[in-house]
Structure formats: structure tokens, C-alpha cells
């Protein structure tokens, strides 16, 4: 039987296990990336493990999430990250140089290579045929130290693209259509592999918009085959020699197939406050729009901003609307500036901003209360913009620019009819991506060789070996789809403590219940209860590290998001799956006891655990590999990795 493209790349990197769906496999990692939110812990853990040099072909540290300097804390973090990159041998991308995924695709992403990143949108270069996976920081630390990355072999889904996009429909609409059909849970445990005759009509940057947002489907990764479009893009970024042809075998078998006829797509929009709440733009047209933002790792490339700039040429942003453009990389900004497009946009009334994540996580450009914000981003979880009562819609740059011109949500086809002289700008790639790369410091050029830690940089928290008893109150009962933004928000006032777990933990789950952290600390032990898809969203390991620091020993949920589930193991918290009836029966404040000897049960491979709540007993399931059980037993991945190193004498 032939192989899928995913299987071919995995096979090339396989060091442990077999490519059978559901089996745990270990793969070699060629490249790693990390960013400033997750990066400080990555390097502190690298130091705590006693590692002394990066072992992967490429390791890159980006500063993109929080680039503004409000006081010394953030600047200290950046200085520490630069020193760690210099000391251990990673590339360092300075604040202002751009968003990790954009800068990585410009400089390092390569077909056939594996990439592990401590950011959930790491799968972005899947559009170039790279197998890229998001993971918790400590997984990246360990991979960077040269160890394999372990993962349950996902199902491989064939997303067959047919036809070509009609006027005004874009790559963003392809992924919004998939979210509309499959929901934010539709890709869990799966790698989406794109095939079919529609693939060749999409440029590499368009493909990367689609693979970027595979994360919103919950997918482990998304990947396109390589072809002339891939080679063309790599040549334009000056790395044509890194092209390799990658196609699935003709007789490859997939676990499932989805067909999308591109020619049937139209401009779509995700309504507040979930990326899968998708409808045609025409269904919500006419609503006043207060703010429009074009940018982010999804649609912040030169090719994304240029269409919006063209639509604004000789036009003006509606006086009732504020439009912000924040490119994904400084290279995109520079190119747009050199070609005069920045001046054109500014003349139209655009507020042109720094290349940063910023507004995507509520740092800057927070919308006015009870207002409508249209963004070309990938997420619109409630409160992520920086205020709780936000109304954030997600759309393509073309729909965003149309709204900025009209001052209300409008299908660009209807605006074109109304204005008479507005044409679909289409996608245009530059002859050469020639923005300067001066803000990327190579390991050879690194100015530092010692770690520099400011006073806000704390120690890595550790948990003791797993004990025999788990007993305590259900300290918090939560609903479905709790995101990592709920657990540890990434807004400026909180994010500045990302390297100081003692302080950061005070904000744990404060968006759900602002008494939680204090109650958890007092209780010194206890469990969390949640519905479906607990921990969806970012790869932020702080969302497991802070509950661990507060003494949480287990999470009982109906289901877990992939990266967060791995993070719970990595920080010694037992993730137990419960059914709906059990979920309904447990109330916040109930005393919960795991009846089994937890250490023995975890290490012996026991799957079913008895949970006593008051007088009732229920069954909870621990679905975990032997390696995951060992990590739990050791008290987390840091302790386990050290144990492994001691045993092997390395
Ligand atoms: Fe940055 Fe937002 Fe992309 Fe995350 S999703 S990398 S915060 S732009």
C-alpha cells in the first residue's frame, strides 16, 4: 500500500514505534521555534536539565507576543532570551522583527523537515510541505536537547480541493468553510493533508493561511504537497535550493476524506466568539464596524496586506471606523514601505503598526466596550481582545478592507457593485522578498555567552513524585471549550509575569472565578472539573504549570485539547476523562477522592479509576501511554528527563 505525504515525512524521521493510528511514535525533530511568552520557561528548563547546547539543525527564539515595553519586566525577558539563544546556540529574532510563524517561514521553513514549536500555530509552514507541530515548552526544550518527540500517531484526513476560488473568495474562506463544517473539535487527533486539483491554484502563502488555522480545528498539523508554487515561493525568499518534491503515493489510503469545491466558496466570516461560528458575510452585512485590524500570523504577510492596500488606494477609511494594519514581519513592512503602499494606506487613514502579535492577545488596540471589531486573525475567543464584552469577527483582508471603507460589514462583491470601480485585487507575490534581515541574530553573531536574568525571572517550579492519594475539593467546575486564555490570560497586565510563576499563578482561572487562586492555595490540593475540549487554544504551558503550582492534582474533564493534555502530563497533573453523567453529578465544592492507589494505578497501566464523590462512585479513565505514565509518576517531564539522563549516564 502506498503512503500519504504525512506518512512519508514521519517515516523519514521515525526513531520509535510504528505508523499505526493511535500508536505512540517517536520522531526526530529538525527545527524548533519558540516565542517570548513560552520561551523564557523553555530556556529556564533547558538550564535546569543541565543541557549545554542546542542539538537540532535550527532553533529559533522569536520576540513577538509582547514587544511593547511597559516597565523593566518585559525588557528583562527579552534580554534573557537573547542571552539564552547566544549561550545555547539558537537564532534570536529581536522584538519588532515580526511574528514567529511569519519570520520562520521567510527564513527557515523547508519541505520535508520536521518542526516543533511552543506555539499552537506552529503548523503554519505545513503550506510549504513541512511537518510542523505545536507543543508545550518543555517538549520543545527536550527536543532541542536532541531527544525524539513522542506523539500518538494521528488519523490522516484527505482534504481534497477541487476547482478554483471565484472572485473575492480567498484562502481564509477555505479554512473558515472547514471550521463551519467541522467545528473547533473537528480536527482533534488528526493531520489534515491537502490534495486534489485545487491545490495548484493556491500560492504558498495562501496555503499557509489555511495550515495556520488548522489549529482552530484542533488538528495536530496540516500539510500540503510541494509543487511549482512551493518552489516558486522558496526561490522568492532566496532559498530555492531547499525545495524537494513531496507528493502522496497514488494508492495512499486515508482515514477519512473531505471534499471542498473551491469554486463554490464565497466570502465568509466567523462571528463572535468562536472561530467555527461561521456564516456568509452577506448574512451579517449592515452591522456598524468600529474597528478593523489586518495582520497576525494568519493574514499578516505582504501578500495579505497588499490586497487591502490596493482596495484603499485613492479611497478613505470610513470616519466611523478605525483601521489598523499590523504586518506579520518587519520584512513585509519594509517591502510595503519601499513600494509606497504604507504611505498610500496612511493617506487613506490607516493606523500603521509594528509587526507584532499585540492586539491578537489583547496587548494594544483593545476594542471599545460593546463595539464590533473585524480582524483577519485566527481566534476570537471571548475576552481575548482585552475586554470581556468584545464582539470580534474573523475574516479575510478583503472583507476587512471592505468594512473599513463602508463603515459596516459588507460583502466585497456588494461593495464592488455599489462603488462601480472596485476590483478584486487578487494575490500578488513580490519578485523577491527583499526586506532586510538585520534583526535576526545568528548563533555565530550572538553577543552573549552567559545567561542574563533580571529580578522578574524566577525559578522553574517542580512537583514531587506522584503520591498514592488524590483527595480534595472540586475547586472549580467549568463548562465546555475552556481555553488556555481562560486559564492564564495573555493580556499585558498578566503576561508580564510569564517568567515568575509564583506571581503569575495568582491570575490562574481568574477569568472564570477571581477567587480561585486564593482558594486553591488555601486548600493546598484539589481537582478541577470541566466539560468538553478543556484547554483548547494556545500551547501555553503556564496553563498547566500554574495550576500545578497551586496544588491541583487532577483535572476531570469530558475531553481535553491535545497540547494542553500533554502539558498536564508534563507538569504532573493527572488528566482523567469522565462521562457526561459524572460531569453533571459533580458540583463545585464536592469532595472528590480517587479510591485507587494512584501511584500504583498509574504505573501499572490501569485505565479505569474509581472516583468517589460524596456517597457515589463513578468511573474515570486515564488514557495514557507508558511513557506518559512514567512522566506523571516522576512528577512531570523535567524530573523524568533528569531521571532518564541519570539512568543512561549522560
Ligand atoms: Fe501571535 Fe496571534 Fe498568531 Fe498567536 S495567533 S502567534 S498571538 S498572531
Instruction: Report which ligand 1 atom has the smallest distance to the Cα of 328.
Output: 8
Tell me how far apart the 2 most distant CA atoms of the chain are, in Å: 74
SS3 25: strand
pLDDT in tens, 548-590: 999 999 999 999 999 999 999 999 999 999 999 999 999 999 9
Ligand 1 pocket, residue 384 CB under 6 Å = no
Pocket test of ligand 1: the residue of 36, 37, 38, 99 to mutate, having most ligand atoms within 8 Å of its CB, is: 99
**Is the CB of 66 inside a 6 Å radius of any atom of ligand 1?**
no
Kindly state if the Cβ of 296 falls inside 6 Å of ligand 1. yes
Q: Which of 326, 280, 317, 310 is nearest to 426 (CA)?
A: 310
Ligand 1 within 6 A of CB of 411 = no
Confidence of residue 462 (pLDDT cuts 50, 70, 90): confident
Pocket test for ligand 1, best of 98, 294, 296 (most atoms within 8 A of CB): 296
What is the rounded average pLDDT for all residues in the chain? 96
CA of 358 to the centre of ligand 1 (A): 8
Angle at 316 between CA 315 and CA 320, to 5 degrees: 150
Calculate how far, in angstroms, residue 536's C-alpha sits from the geometric centre of ligand 1: 14
- Using CA atoms, how far apart are residues 461 and 505, in angstroms rounded to an integer? 11
Cell matching residue 248: 502522496
* Ligand 1 midpoint to CA 487 (Å): 17
* Whole-number Å distance between alpha carbons of 546 and 544: 6
* ipTM summary value: 1.00
In percent, the amount of the chain with pLDDT more than 70 equals: 99
User: What are 360-379's pLDDT values in tens digits?
Assistant: 999 999 999 999 999 999 99
Distance CA 16, CA 24 (A): 8
CB contact set of 495 (below 8 Å; sequence gap of 6+): 37, 65, 66, 361, 363, 489
Say if residue 396's pLDDT is above 70.
yes
Residue 71: predicted pLDDT: 87
Does residue 120 contact residue 538 with C-beta atoms inside 8 Å? Answer: yes
| Model confidence pLDDT, tens digit, residues 596-608 | 999 999 999 999 9
Instruction: Indicate if ligand 1 lies below 6 Å from the C-beta of 555.
Output: no
Chain centroid, CA 343 distance in Å: 32
Pairing of strands 190-195, 155-162: parallel
CA of 187 to the centre of ligand 1 (A): 19
List helix spans (H) across 524-597: 542-549, 562-570, 580-585
Å from CA of 295 to ligand 1 middle: 10
Neighbours of 52 (CB within 10 A): 11
Distances (CA, A) of 340 to 334, 337, 528: 10, 5, 54
Q: Average pLDDT, stretch 429-444?
A: 86
Is residue 485 lining ligand 1, measured as CB closer than 6 Å? Answer: no
Separation in Å, CA 213 to CA 37, 176, 361, 559: 20, 9, 16, 21
Does residue 331 have its Cβ closer than 6 Å to ligand 1? no
Query: Is the CB of residue 99 below 6 angstroms from any atom belonging to ligand 1?
Result: yes
Of the pLDDT bands very low, low, confident and very high (cuts 50, 70, 90), residue 245 is very high
Residue 476 has pLDDT above 90, yes or no: yes
Q: What CATH number matches the domain at 5-263, 3.30.360.10, 3.30.499.10, 3.60.20.10, 3.30.1360.170?
A: 3.30.499.10
In the reported structure, the alpha carbon of residue 564 is separated from the centroid of ligand 1 by a whole-number distance in angstroms of 17
pLDDT digits (tens, 9 = 90+) for 41-55: 999 999 999 999 999
Q: Which atom of ligand 1 is least distant from the CA of 120?
A: 4
Which residue's C-alpha comes closest to atom 7 of ligand 1? 357
Tell me the pLDDT tens digit for each residue of 247-299: 999 999 999 999 999 999 999 999 999 999 999 999 999 999 999 999 999 99
The DSSP code sequence of 373-402 is: EEESSS--BTTTTSSTT-EEEE--HHHHHH
Ligand 1 lined by 121 (C-beta under 6 Å): yes
The answer on pLDDT for 437 being more than 70 is no
Ligand 1 neighbour 408 (Cβ under 6 A):
no
Residue 44, classified by CB atoms within 10 Å of its CB into exposed (0-12), middle (13-18) or buried (19+), is buried
Ligand 1 midpoint to CA 383 (Å): 15
Cis status of the peptide bond prior to 601, with omega within 30 of 0: no
Q: In a mutational test of the pocket of ligand 1, which residue from 64, 121, 208 has the highest number of ligand atoms less than 8 Å from its CB?
A: 121
- At 355, phi and psi to the nearest 5? -80, 100
- Ligand 1, atom 1, residue with closest C-alpha: 357
Contacts of 393 (CB under 8 A, 6+ apart): 269, 270, 271, 272, 284, 372, 373, 374, 375, 380, 409
Q: Which residues of 338-353 are buried (b: 16+ CB within 10 A; e: fewer)?
A: eeebbebbeebbbebb
| Selection from 377, 355, 244 nearest residue 298 by Cα | 377
How, if at all, do strands 155-162 and 221-223 pair?
Answer: unpaired
pLDDT above 90: residue 525: no
Residue 504 scores a pLDDT above 80: yes
pLDDT of residue 439: 76
Superfamily of domain 470-648: Aconitase, domain 4 (3.20.19.10)
- H/E segment holding residue 361: none
Which residues of the chain form CATH 3.30.499.10? 5-263, 268-419
Q: Is 159 exposed, middle or buried (0-12, 13-18, 19+ CB in 10 A)?
A: buried
DSSP string, 125-182: GGGGT-EEEE--HHHHHHHHTTPPEEEE--EEEEEEEES---TT--HHHHHHHHHHHH
Domain 268-419 part of CATH 3.90.1150.10: no
To test the pocket of ligand 1, the residue of 378, 537, 539, 563 to mutate (highest count of ligand atoms within 8 Å of its CB) is 378
Residue 379 alpha carbon to ligand 1 centre in Å: 9
Q: Provide the 8-state DSSP code for 536.
A: B
Q: What is the mean pLDDT of residues 407-424?
A: 98
539 C-alpha to center of ligand 1: Å? 11
Mean pLDDT of 218-242: 97
Pocket test for ligand 1, best of 132, 357, 492, 495 (most atoms within 8 A of CB): 357
- For residue 119 and ligand 1, the question of a CB distance below 6 A is answered with yes
Residue closest via CA to ligand 1's atom 3 equals 297
Distance 361 CA to ligand 1 centre (A): 7
Report the helix count and the strand count for the chain, using DSSP H and E.
Answer: 24, 27
Ligand 1 neighbour 293 (Cβ under 6 A): no
**Nearest CA residue ID for atom 6, ligand 1:** 297
Given ligand 1 and candidates 96, 124, 297, which is best to mutate, with the most ligand atoms within 8 Å of its CB?
297
Ligand 1 centroid vs 400 CA: distance in angstroms? Answer: 18
Is residue 372 within 8 A of residue 288, CB to CB? The reply is yes
Q: Which three cell numbers stand for residue 56?
A: 537540532
Residue 239 has pLDDT above 70, yes or no: yes
Helix, strand, coil % in the chain, rounded to nearest 5? 35, 20, 45
> Looking at ligand 1, which atom is closest to the CA of residue 100?
6
Distance 261 CA to ligand 1 centre (A): 29
Answer whether 448's CB lies under 8 Å from 489's CB.
Answer: no
Amino acid at each position: 500500500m502506498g503512503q500519504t505525504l504525512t506518512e512519508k515525512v514521519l517515516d523519514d524521521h521515525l526513531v520509535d514505534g510504528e505508523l499505526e493510528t493511535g500508536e505512540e511514535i517517536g520522531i526526530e525533530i529538525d527545527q524548533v521555534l519558540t516565542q517570548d511568552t513560552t520561551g523564557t520557561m523553555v530556556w529556564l528548563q533547558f538550564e535546569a536539565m543541565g543541557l549545554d547546547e542546542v542539538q537540532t539543525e535550527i532553533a529559533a527564539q522569536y520576540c513577538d507576543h509582547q514587544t511593547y515595553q511597559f516597565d523593566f519586566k518585559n525588557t528583562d525577558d527579552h534580554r534573557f532570551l537573547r542571552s539564552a539563544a547566544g549561550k545555547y546556540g539558537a537564532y534570536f529574532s529581536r522584538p519588532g522583527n515580526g511574528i514567529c510563524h511569519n519570520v520562520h517561514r521567510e527564513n527557515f521553513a523547508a519541505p520535508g523537515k520536521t518542526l516543533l514549536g511552543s506555539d499552537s500555530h506552529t503548523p503554519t509552514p505545513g503550506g510549504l510541505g513541512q511537518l510542523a507541530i505545536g507543543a508545550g515548552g518543555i517538549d520543545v526544550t527536550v527536543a532541542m536537547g536532541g531527544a525524539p518527540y513522542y506523539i500518538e500517531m494521528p488519523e490522516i484526513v484527505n482534504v481534497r480541493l477541487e476547482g478554483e476560488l471565484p472572485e473575492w473568495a480567498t484562502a481564509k474562506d477555505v479554512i473558515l468553510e472547514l471550521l463551519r463544517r467541522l467545528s473547533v473539535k473537528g480536527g482533534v487527533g488528526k493531520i489534515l493533508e491537502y490534495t486534489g486539483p485545487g491545490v495548484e491554484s493556491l500560492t504558498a502563502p495562501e496555503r499557509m493561511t489555511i495550515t495556520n488555522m488548522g489549529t482552530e480545528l484542533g488538528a495536530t498539523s496540516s500539510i500540503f504537497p510541494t509543487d511549482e508554487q512551493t518552489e516558486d515561493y522558496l526561490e522568492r525568499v532566496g532559498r530555492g535550493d531547499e525545495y524537494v518534491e513531496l507528493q502522496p503515493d497514488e494508492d495512499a489510503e486515508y482515514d477519512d476524506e473531505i471534499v471542498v469545491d473551491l469554486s463554490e466558496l464565497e466570502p465568509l466570516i466567523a462571528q463572535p466568539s468562536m472561530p467555527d461560528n461561521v456564516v456568509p458575510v452577506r448574512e451579517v452585512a449592515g452591522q456598524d464596524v468600529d474597528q478593523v485590524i489586518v495582520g497576525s500570523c494568519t493574514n499578516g504577510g505582504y501578500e495579505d496586506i497588499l490586497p487591502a492596500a490596493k482596495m484603499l488606494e485613492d479611497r478613505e477609511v470610513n470616519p466611523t471606523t478605525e483601521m489598523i494594519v499590523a504586518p506579520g514581519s518587519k520584512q513585509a513592512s519594509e517591502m510595503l514601505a519601499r513600494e509606497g503602499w504604507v504611505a498610500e494606506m496612511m493617506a487613506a487613514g490607516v493606523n500603521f503598526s509594528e509587526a507584532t502579535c499585540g492586539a491578537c492577545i489583547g496587548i494594544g488596540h483593545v476594542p471599545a466596550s460593546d463595539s464590533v471589531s473585524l480582524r483577519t486573525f485566527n481566534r476570537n475567543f471571548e475576552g481575548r481582545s482585552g475586554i470581556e464584552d468584545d464582539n470580534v469577527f474573523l475574516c479575510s483582508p478583503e472583507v476587512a478592507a471592505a468594512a473599513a471603507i463602508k463603515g459596516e460589514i459588507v460583502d466585497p462583491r456588494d461593495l464592488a457593485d455599489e462603488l462601480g470601480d472596485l476590483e478584486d485585487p487578487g494575490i500578488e507575490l513580490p519578485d523577491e522578498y527583499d526586506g532586510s534581515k538585520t534583526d535576526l541574530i545568528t548563533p555565530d553573531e550572538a553577543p552573549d555567552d552567559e545567561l542574563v536574568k533580571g529580578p522578574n525571572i524566577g525559578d522553574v517550579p517542580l512537583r514531587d513524585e506522584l503520591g498514592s492519594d488524590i483527595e480534595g475539593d472540586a475547586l472549580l467546575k467549568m463548562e465546555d471549550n475552556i481555553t488556555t486564555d481562560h486559564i492564564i490570560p495573555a493580556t499585558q497586565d498578566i503576561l508580564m509575569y510569564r517568567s515568575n510563576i509564583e506571581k503569575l499563578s495568582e491570575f490562574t482561572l481568574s477569568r472564570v472565578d477571581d477567587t480561585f487562586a486564593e482558594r486553591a492555595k488555601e486548600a493546598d490540593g484539589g481537582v478541577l472539573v470541566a466539560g468538553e475540549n478543556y484547554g483548547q487554544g494556545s500551547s501555553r504551558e503556564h496553563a498547566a504549570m500554574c495550576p500545578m503550582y497551586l496544588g491541583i492534582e487532577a483535572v476531570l474533564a469530558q475531553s481535553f485539547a491535545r497540547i494542553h493534555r500533554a502539558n498536564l502530563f508534563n507538569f504532573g497533573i493527572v488528566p482523567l476523562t469522565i462521562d457526561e453523567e459524572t460531569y453533571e453529578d459533580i458540583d463545585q465544592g464536592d469532595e472528590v477522592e480517587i479510591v485507587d492507589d494512584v501511584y500504583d494505578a498509574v504505573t501499572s497501566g490501569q485505565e479505569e479509576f474509581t472516583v468517589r464523590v460524596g456517597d457515589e462512585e463513578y468511573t474515570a479513565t486515564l488514557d495514557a501511554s507508558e511513557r506518559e505514565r512514567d512522566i506523571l509518576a516522576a512528577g512531570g517531564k523535567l524530573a523524568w528527563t533528569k531521571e532518564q539522563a541519570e539512568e543512561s549516564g549522560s
